[in-house]
Every structure is written in C-alpha cells, then in structure tokens.
Amino acid sequence: LQLVARLMAAKRASGQTYEAIAKGLGVTNVYAANLFLNQAQLKPHAVEPLKKLVPGLEAADLEAMQECPMRSFDPQLMQEPNVYRTLEACQHNGEAIKNVINEKFGDGIMSAIDFYLDVQEATGPQGERRVVLTFNGKFLPHVEQTTANQDAMKMV
C-alpha cells in the first residue's frame, strides 16, 4: 500500500492522465492504471519512457514496479459504486455473454491473462456521455481430456 501511495502521488504531481501515460508507453489506459496500482508488471523497455512521463517516480519504486506483482483486490473495493456496477453488469449479462461466446466460438472461455481492457467515451443519442468498456480476450477452447493425449505428454 505504501508503494501504491507513492506511485499515485508521483502520478498526481506529474499532471499526467492514464490516457497520456498509456499513449506514451503503448499500452491500454487500464493497463497504465494497473501499473500505478501495482497490479501489472512494468516491463524493462517501458522504464525510461515512464520516467520521462512521471519524473517523480523514485528508482526503488521503478524497480518494485518491475517485480511480479501480487494481483489481488481489497474486498472493500466491491462497495465502490463504479466497481459494483461493473460487476453487476457482468453478473446480470453473464449467462447471455456465455451463450453468445459459445455460439460464436464453441465450448471455451475468454482468457483474463491474454486480455486487453480499455475504457473510452462515446456520445449517446441524446448527447449524453457514455462509458465504453472493451474486454478483448483470447478465446481458450476447452479440450477433451483423452488418455492418448495425456499419455503422449512428456513429464519434466
């Protein structure tokens, strides 16, 4: 939590938005936000560009950002209205989403590892501001667990 507080303070002091940081690093805006929440790993090639975008980042914090993060969440986060409503939308539409994915792709799931998430803005038909969430995940088909395939695997 202390790391995240320092990262967020450096971001605020820089005046940079997640969108600007994302553009400068060539990542999605949600990935950029996850970097500052210590939920994504800063890759070595992005260290120098990030230092230019957010000059207040300390060397030790940049090193910590390159470690494998402990991806988790605080259960109290579920009380935050944006988080709760996003989960509610997924829960309410989950069965329909599952059915459409299975109809289009077959038996399988969307990866949350080989996955991109982006937040954008659109204008609705009455001129209202609208939130656009794009979930872009690799399709992972379920495999038939045959003994022939298992027997063919080489144990290391």
Catalytic residues: 85, 88, 111
- Residue identified by tokens 């202390």 is 2
Strand partners, 137: 115
Nearest-angstrom CA–CA distance, 6 and 50: 15
Q: CA triplet 79, 83, 85: central angle to 5 degrees?
A: 95
Long-range contacts of 23-32 (CB under 8 A, 24+ apart): 24/49, 24/50, 24/52, 24/53, 25/49, 25/50, 25/53, 28/116, 28/117, 28/118, 29/118, 29/119, 30/117, 30/118, 30/119, 31/116, 31/117
Pick from 1, 64, 109: which is nearest to 9 by CA?
A: 1
